[in-house]
Amino acid sequence: MKNILAIQSHVVYGHAGNSAAEFPMRRLGANVWPLNTGSIF
């Protein structure tokens, strides 16, 4: 299993940044460690 550090922005509502990136990488079998750089409202 691959380990991936995802460094992106985080949105409070909706799917963009890490919210959108984590799901497909996890579906491919990767272990994702999200590092949120800021919250966008």
Kindly list the domain boundaries of the chain, sorted by start residue.
3-40
**Cα dihedral: 32, 36, 37, 38 (round 10):** 160
pLDDT at 21 over 90: no
Mean pLDDT to the nearest integer, 12-32: 86
CB 7 within 8 A of CB 28: no
Across the range 8-20, mean pLDDT stands at: 78
Count of Cβ atoms closer than 10 Å to residue 31 Cβ: 11
Q: Say what the pLDDT of residue 39 is.
A: 65
Predicted confidence (pLDDT) at residue 27 exceeds the cutoff of 90: yes
- Whether pTM exceeds 0.85: no
Spacing of C-alpha 26 from chain mean position? 9
Average pLDDT, integer, range 20-37: 90
3-class state of residue 10 by DSSP: strand
